[in-house]
Structures are given as structure tokens and as C-alpha cells.
Amino acid sequence: MSDVSPLVEARLLTALGEPDARASVTFLGTDRIEVLRFPEGDVVRYATLGMSARPMTDPAAALADPLRGPRAELVLSVRSGLADTDKLLRPLAVLAASPQVEGVVVAPGASLDLGEPLWPGAPFSSVLVAESGGLVEDLELDEPMEPVRFLPLLPMTPNEAAWKRVHGAAALEERWLARGTDLRDPRRGSVPLAD
């Protein structure tokens, strides 16, 4: 089985340019996860590298298939200079390690909760996983491996996360869109949720 990480890194560099920083985190019993920082104008993007080294396995499966199963990396974009967002490198690595640590399959529409702010003073402790294919194109791999999907993360306030649990991801995304919410603003408040 070929190592997919060099291919994933090449796709990130093609889509986002050269990173100006990277951090590496290893959790007990897991593969190393790197987080790369890509500045782009007034936006900084953080992307994981290493989450897709193994396919995600359904926790109900009896055995983990070393080849088959969804693969993903996470991408989070925020406006630079407005908050200490560089402190989210470790929390982002924690989210990327969750398939190996907790046996979850990270997919669009899912919520990932850290239980603490994404960075010091952040109004967000969880994220909504959005659809891939926009910022970084999916990376096709040799059969029988599934493509690596680069999943955008959208920070949610606690109120938004609670509302999403009741009404669903699509309804929250529609509300953000209807209100013109700047999802890259690291200081934004909760979107109005009452009808």
C-alpha cells in the first residue's frame, strides 16, 4: 500500500500555495497529524495532513479494512489578525485524530466538538463539517482506495451547535447564508436562531 500523505501534501500545496508554518502532533496509539498554515491575503487557512493515511472505519464494523473506507483531511479558514487563531493547531489535530482515537467517521453534516474553545477566547468550541470539492479538489487514489476529501470546517457557537442538533446541518447553513454570516470571522457572534 502506497503512502498517501505525500500525494495529499502535493494537492494542498497546489491548491493553497506554500505553508508558512507547520506543527506536528502525535497522540498515544495514533499516527502523526500535521497542521499546515497557509496565509492568503487577509485569510489564513489551516489544513491537516495525516488524517487520510488510513481510511476511516465504521465503529460497528468487526474489522478495519486497511484500504477501503472514506479518507479525509480538514481545512479551516479564518480572517487573520483578529484573534490568536494560531493556537488552534493542536485542537485541529485533535479533531483530525478523532477517527483513530474514537472510531468516528467524519463526513459532511457532522459536528465535531472539542469541549473547549478552538483557540483562547474563541466563541466556538465545535465545528460543522461542510462538503468537499470547493477550495481543495478531492484527491483520487488507486483502486480500491476511496478519494481523499478535503472537508471545510465551519466554527459553530454553542447556541448554533445546539440548534443544529435539533434542525440539522442544512437548516443551519441556510440560516447562515440568509443572514450573510461571515463564517471566517473569528470573533463573530451566533446567527439569530429565533424565527
Over the stretch 181-193, which tens digit does the pLDDT of each residue have? 999 999 999 998 8
Q: Does residue 140 register a pLDDT over 90?
A: yes
Q: What is the pLDDT of residues 58-96, one digit of tens each?
A: 766 666 677 888 999 999 999 998 889 989 888 999 999
Q: Does residue 2 register a pLDDT over 80?
A: no
Q: 168 in a domain, yes or no?
A: yes
According to the model, what pLDDT value does residue 1 have?
36
Q: What is the pLDDT of residues 141-182, one digit of tens each?
A: 998 999 999 999 999 999 999 999 999 999 999 999 999 999
C-alpha to C-alpha distance for 9 and 88, rounded to whole angstroms: 20
Number of domains into which the chain is organized: 1
Nearest to 110 by CA among 126, 92, 94, 86: 126
According to the model, what pLDDT value does residue 26 have?
83
Containing structural domain, residue 142: 5-178
Q: 109 in a domain, yes or no?
A: yes
Q: 184 in a domain, yes or no?
A: no
| Cβ-proximal residues to 30 (8 Å cutoff; 6+ apart), any chain | 97, 100, 101
Q: 193 in a domain, yes or no?
A: no
Q: 188 in a domain, yes or no?
A: no
State the cell numbers at 82: 483578529
Q: 186 in a domain, yes or no?
A: no
| Cβ-proximal residues to 87 (8 Å cutoff; 6+ apart), any chain | 119, 120
According to the model, what pLDDT value does residue 62 have?
63
Q: 116 in a domain, yes or no?
A: yes
Q: 189 in a domain, yes or no?
A: no
> Residue with C-alpha cell 443551519?
172
